[in-house]
Amino acid sequence: MQISVQQDIFKLAQTFTISRGSRTQAEVLTVKADHKGFVGWGECVPYARYGETLESVTAQIEGFSGRWCDLEEELPAGAARNALDCTLWDHAAKMAGKRVWDLLELPAPQPKITAYTLSLDTPEKMETQARRNAHRPLLKIKLGTPDDMVRLEAVRRGAPDAPIIVDANEGWTAEVYSDLAPHLLHLGVKMVEQPLPAGDDELLAEIARPLPVCADESCHDRASLPSLKGKYDMVNIKLDKTGGLTEALALKDAAIVEGYQIMVGCMVGSSLAMAPATILAQGVAFTDLDGPLLLAEDREQSLIFDDKGVHPPAAALWG
């Protein structure tokens, strides 16, 4: 099997800011697997928070032996393994003349309502963003600063009826979360994602959690589950964290057995990156696959987003 990787850049529709910084473009790696006349495709988004760079992930991909059965042994959970795993699933589906969900013996995925993320900004600009997107069925608010209450109140003014979930991106302390939680409930927030830094979240087991708390940076793959016990109510599964669809599906099953609710999330990437996650998103509490909605440009074949949500990919895109 011949595997190649290239860097692609997609401009964002507007500057996207979280508590760790801002970006104006999505930098992704596109992987191609060519074997026996069939070509499979996959995408990953290297993430600096996890020590990944475009160069380091490219080197991991280029060093892969090409044997799918050895993928988990050769590479750790992360962006490189994700791109390869999803590429190989796409290739397998094309060789078999079937969809990936058929190979997995799963029902055909249905459209899923997805969150739409509002970038961190001044309260005035976040209110404007909220008003512009108040029609969307679920808003996700990026927070994680000392002025979060003012921002959240501004968003609620802009979108008085929209369901809201909040992502603090590790930006709070236990004291800040405890102080904010009653106000979050009052403003109709449905869930808060990663309020405390991963590795420094033990206090979540000791303080009241009046609304569901979701592990993002604290949850990567099945090996993460033991450390989450008593601290979290939900896990955010992202393909770039798990190392692909294979582990993501296994993590989903294991987390459900342990009593966690499931959120399926994404990095900021194109429709190719989101496509495998539409399979994973079936039957979960929250879906956050809005990456393509944040772009000014996308793949030639792109996912469909409409009032039913994000639709599963056409075969021409993936799977």
Question: Active-site residue among 94, 112, 140, 142?
Answer: 142
Q: What is the pLDDT of residues 127-164, one digit of tens each?
A: 999 999 999 999 999 988 878 999 999 999 999 999 99
**pLDDT of amino acid 130:** 96
Is 112 annotated as catalytic?
Answer: no
Exposure string over 24-51, b if 16+ CB within 10 A, otherwise e: eebebbbbbbeeeebebbbbbbbbeeee
113: buried, middle or exposed (CB in 10 Å: 19+, 13-18, 0-12)? middle
Q: Taking Cα atoms as reference points, which of 52, 78, 96, 84 lies closest to residue 223?
A: 78
Could you give the C-alpha distances from 37 to 61, 92, 103, 295, in angstroms and in order? 21, 12, 20, 32
Question: Active-site residue among 231, 238, 241, 252?
Answer: 238
Report the SS3 class of residue 220: coil
**pLDDT of amino acid 146:** 79
When the pLDDT of each residue in the chain is averaged and rounded to a whole number, the result is: 95
Q: Is residue 53 predicted with pLDDT exceeding 80? A: yes
Q: What is the pLDDT of residues 189-242, one digit of tens each?
A: 999 999 999 999 999 999 999 999 999 999 999 999 999 999 999 999 999 999
Is 142 annotated as catalytic?
Answer: yes
Q: What is the pLDDT of residues 237-261, one digit of tens each?
A: 999 999 999 999 999 999 999 999 9
Q: Is residue 20 predicted with pLDDT exceeding 80? A: no
**pLDDT of amino acid 120:** 87
Tokens describing residue 299: 């793949």
Region of residue 144 (phi > 0: left; psi between -120 and 50: alpha; otherwise: beta): left
**pLDDT of amino acid 222:** 98
For residues 118-133, average pLDDT: 93
Q: Taking Cα atoms as reference points, which of 252, 221, 236 lies closest to residue 165?
A: 236
